[in-house]
Structures are given as C-alpha cells and as structure tokens.
Structure 1
Amino acid sequence: MIRFASLILLMLAGQGVAQDLTLPSGARQLSERVSPLDSYDLPTGPFADGTLPTRQVEGRVERITWRLQSGSSTTLQLLAPLRDQIIAQGYEVMFECEATKCGGFDFRFDTEVVPTPDMYVAIQDYRFLSASRGDDVLSLLVSRNPPSGYIQLIRVSPVDAEAPPPLVIEETVSQSGGLLTALTQNGHVILDDLHFRTGEITLGEGPFASLEVIAGYLADNPGVRMALVGHTDDTGALDANISVSTGRAQAVRVRLIEAHGVAADRLEARGIGYLAPLTSNATPEGRDLNRRVEAVLLVN
C-alpha cells in the first residue's frame, strides 16, 4: 500500500499566483504546469458512439503529475484514498470509470493527458474521475506500469474569484509498510523517490523517505545487510552505463552512512548498467523506469 502523507494544494488568487505543494511521501513530482487562463475539456461520461462527452471549462488550469511506487496496489487502491478525501472536502464526483468502461483506447486518446514521460497510461489499466465543488472542477487519472504508479491531477478554478479553499489529501495508508513488504516478500525494492541530475551521479539533497525506511529496517534487523544496485537505460556504451550506475549506487550508500548512521559494513554498492531492465527501452517512459537504484536484501 502507498502512503499519501499530506498532499496540500494552496491556491492564492491575484497577481503572482503562488502554490505551496507538499508531495506524498515516497512520490516524485514529474511535472507541473499552471496556465493563468486556459480551457479544459472535462470528460463527463464514457466514450461511446464515436464521441467523448465533455464540458468545456475556462479559468486557471493546473496540470500536475506524480510517479510513486505502487507495488501490488491496483489502480482502485491508488485512486480510492484520493477520491475519499476530495469528497470529504466538498467535491461531488460527476463521473468515474475504469479502463474498459471508460472506453479503453478511445477514451485515453480523446481526453487530455500530460505527455510521456511525465504521465504514463496503460490502455487496459487506468481509472478516471471528474468532480466539482462550486465553480471549481478537477479530474484525476491514475494508471500503473509496475512497479510504478502514475497520478495526473487537472484542476480548473475561476480566475476572477477569491482563492478557492485548499485541496488537502491527508495521510491514509503507510508507504513505509508497502516498501518493506515489497522488500521482504521479493528480496528487493526500487527506491523510487531518489533523484539525480541527468547524466550525473550526485544524489539530490532530499530528504528521501525511502532511505529513512531502509535505515530504520537495518536498525531493527541487525542480522541483515543491503546491496544497493544502480541501473540505467540503454543509451550509450555498457562500460559508461556501468560506471554511472555504480556511482549512483555508491552515492546512495554514502548518504545512508553519513545521514542515517548505517554502518558501512552493512551496505555494498554495485552498478550493472542496462543489463537488467524493468521494461523495454524503446519508449521514453520505459527508459525513465529503467533508470533506478534498488535495495537488495542480503540475509546471512
């Protein structure tokens, strides 16, 4: 299961519109685009008879996407906590569907989707809902490309109104439990919230929830060790990719030692370049998924 720890969208009206955003723990924002005045065709029903029914709305349009580790969660498990929270905050669901009942391929390509690699939609594995609260409308689109889940939020607010009430999606389930469950059941887990600059091995400042979870698990289980394994896409020569993936794994090891107090002899770092892809490197989203660092459980 995934932890949606405080997803807070504060909308401030007027010139110099600002947005204060706290992401779900373990999630990574992939894109954000705010248009002060734009239009959006909000789907209001399934694709049928060659047509997708929509309601065109105009105003301040926000388009935001995230990627997070879904584990074995279904698209309904990803969507349900979000749906419950927006209903609790006064939104009324206008339309909701799952892939086949939405209209499958036709719905997917007739509704607005942020381009890859910032949003990924599996034609047979996605869910959508649209909702309204007064003059505010929003849509949520979720999909999976295991082990990752993707969330797209599009929200439209009137440009001449006072600041709308904040949209707050509170904590519902434990992300740390999901990461540890995947680690203990599968023997390895992707540290999906890490980020590196393109082509570089320097780890971002963080903090990274996945590293806190890993450090806590090692503290609670003194008889185990971890191998940190870096992976890349297939761009470039193998030797260069092994060097980059090794450097990134080593950067994660150093962060666990220096920032989280993990003993150096309980961690090792390796890189295998593009030799163990999760999926095809033929698409941008596939290459993005293949660039990762995994924690591998070593039980003596």
Structure 2
Amino acid sequence: MMRRLAASLIFGLLPAIAQAQDLALPASARQLSDRTSPLDSYDLPTGSFADGTIPARRFEGRIERRTFRIDGASSTTLQLMAPLRDQLAGLGYDIVFECKDRDCGGFDFRFETEIVPAPDMHVDIRNYRFLSATRASDDAVSILVSRSGNAAYIQTIRVAPDGADPGSVTAHTAKNPEAGRELGQTLRHDGHVVLRDLEFDSGAGTLLPGPHLSLDRLAGYLRDHPEHRIALVGHSDSTGALATNITLSRQRANAVRDRLVEQFDIDPSRVEAEGVGYLAPIASNLTPEGRDANRRVEAVLLSTR
C-alpha cells in the first residue's frame, strides 16, 4: 500500500509508459549524461559490501549508463526509488538485490561499485538507495538514487542483450507542456526563461564552472538572432533583508553575464544584468522547496536593437 501511495504521489500526473518499455522519471528530472557502450561488461551487485568485496554477477552486452538530476527535490530516496522498482516489476524484471546506504555498506559499497564520475553523478554516502534487477539470463538493470542538499541524483545502468531494442527500459523524463520546447522558443513565447541548471557558491555570487547547458543554448540563440538583446535578472528567496538580497541577486546575474561574454563571446552591449531580490517569487517562501525555486536567474527578452 505504501509503495503504491508513493508512486501515485510522485508519478500521478505522468503519462503511460511508452509502449510499456521505458522507465518514466519525474518531469523535473534533467539528464546529465549518456554513456553507452555497444559492447562492454558490467558487474551487477547482488549483495552488500562484506569481507572486502561486493558480490556481483558479470553481464556482457550493450551497456547504457545514464544519469539525471532533480533540482529542488523534496522526495525521499524511497519515494523516488519505489515507482521505478514497480515499473521494473511490471516489465517482468526480478528484483535481485535492494539496499539503503548503511545496509549496502555505506562508503565501501559506494566506492566499490560502478558510479558515473562527478559532476554527472553525486552520491551522498549517508543518503542513497540501490537496486539491481534481472530479466532472463542476459538482461540486467541497476538503479542508484541519492539526495544531496536540495538536489536528487539518479543513475541507471542497463545491460541490453544482443538483438535487444536499444531504447528498451531506457530511463527518460516525463513530458510536460514545456518539455518539448527549446530555450529560444520559450524565450520568444513567454518573454523570459529560467536558467535552471546554474549553480553558485552558497550565499555568494560566484557562478560555478559548470558545464551549464542553459548558457550554451542561450548563447546559441543570441548568435542566431543578432538583433535581440536580453536582461539577466537575479532572484532570491525571502531570507534576510531586501537590500542584501538585491545585492546578491544582482551579483549572480552579473556573474552569468560575465560568463556569456567571456566564455561564449557574446557582445556585452546585448546583455544587461539586474537583481530584484525576493520581489518576484514563483513559489511560496514558506517551504524549503519554494525558497529553492525562488533562488534563480532568468533571461528576459528585450526589444530588438
């Protein structure tokens, strides 16, 4: 009952799984990496770390390694894992092994099993879950879910047997009305777009190295439309004084502007930067998730030059 409830809470608005083949992730998940090897081997964990090793079964075939990140995630690792586990069972997989951080072996399990390197995957050794499943003798899947701060990470590794549909049991993000839009389409249609993958030092205006796919796409749009100008607008949550938040949000907008100018060679006269602090929220500041959503930088489309 609890498993079904968790699934309905997180995935209640998701469409049916396409052709009963794909694993549907939350609509807010964004893919970070896809490392597919046409022919490789994978040691599927079948038990917890013990006596210096992880029991495993070796599979060979097409190995599909994918990672996803969910920003502002409030769901527990079990709430994220349970619907995926149910989907695997519905596709005819047998759950071989499942564990939670300390029961898996904590630090040792995390560093002895295969993990896609950072920044494409992050595992908090105090807050993760792992699952492995098999179907027939040459078809296997593992799922790793972890939470770190206000973000959740999901890694899927699938061994596809020879002749299998490459798209079968591929994790994908669920579609919503905005999911099919490119950044430029949203910018033209709505007049603004949130640059959701930007990351800053905590409480500071320093933009982390990235990569930031949103900036790459925004720079591409500006190169394709040399007549357009934009304003980068920083926003904050309501914690602290307004003047302090306006200063911080302006610093972050300017950091994004500098990155566009210096890394992507965008004409600085085409990009303004401003900060408005907490004066334009998009969510309630009464919850951690709402405050996380309100801390953002938006690109606003201005009139043509």
Scaled by the length of structure 1, the TM-score of the pair is 0.56
Q: Give the aligned CA root-mean-square deviation in angstroms.
A: 4.4
Distance 2:86 2:195 in 1: 25
Deviations 1:191-212 (A, max 9, x none): 785575476692888xxxxxxx
Q: Is the 2:23–2:170 contact (alpha carbons within 8 Å) kept by the matching residues of 1?
A: no
Hey, what does 2:254 align to over in structure 1? 243
Hey, what does 1:40 align to over in structure 2? 42
Q: Is the 1:41–1:57 contact (alpha carbons within 8 Å) kept by the matching residues of 2?
A: yes
Hey, what does 2:71 align to over in structure 1? 69
> Unmatched 5+ residue regions in structure 2?
1-8, 177-193, 199-211, 222-232, 238-248, 260-273, 279-291, 299-305
Look at both structures and tell me which one has the larger radius of gyration over its CA atoms.
2
Higher relative CO (CA 8 A, sep ≥ 6), structure 1 or 2?
1
Tell me the CA shift for residue 165 of structure 1. Answer: 8.2
Scaled by the length of structure 2, the TM-score of the pair is 0.55
Hey, what does 2:159 align to over in structure 1? 156
Q: Sort the Cα spacing of 1:168 and 1:240 in 2 relative to 1 into closer, same or farther, 3 A.
A: closer
Aligned residues: 206
Query: What SS is found at the alignment partner of 1:64?
Result: strand
Detail structure 1 runs of 4+ shifted over 3 Å in the superposition.
1-10, 20-24, 168-172, 191-201, 238-242, 244-248, 268-272
Tell me the CA shift for residue 113 of structure 1. Answer: 0.2
In the alignment, structure 1 residue 202 sits paired with structure 2 residue 218: yes
Q: Is the 1:7–1:168 contact (alpha carbons within 8 Å) kept by the matching residues of 2?
A: no
Tell me the CA shift for residue 37 of structure 1. Answer: 0.3
Q: Is the 2:41–2:63 contact (alpha carbons within 8 Å) kept by the matching residues of 1?
A: yes
Distance 1:110 1:9 in 2: 34
Query: What SS is found at the alignment partner of 1:114?
Result: coil
Tell me the CA shift for residue 26 of structure 1. Answer: 1.3
Query: What SS is found at the alignment partner of 2:218?
Result: coil
Distance 1:60 1:169 in 2: 15
List aligned pairs for 1:1-300, cutoff 5 A.
Answer: 2-3=10-11, 5=14, 24-69=26-71, 71-134=73-136, 135-159=138-162, 161-163=163-165, 166-167=168-169, 193=196, 197=213, 202=218, 229=235, 242-245=253-256, 270=276, 293=296
Distance 2:40 2:165 in 1: 17
Distance 2:24 2:220 in 1: 17
> Unmatched 5+ residue regions in structure 1?
13-19, 175-190, 206-226, 232-237, 249-267, 273-288, 296-300
Tell me the CA shift for residue 89 of structure 1. Answer: 1.2
Tell me the CA shift for residue 24 of structure 1. Answer: 3.9
Tell me the CA shift for residue 9 of structure 1. Answer: 8.3
Query: What SS is found at the alignment partner of 1:80?
Result: helix
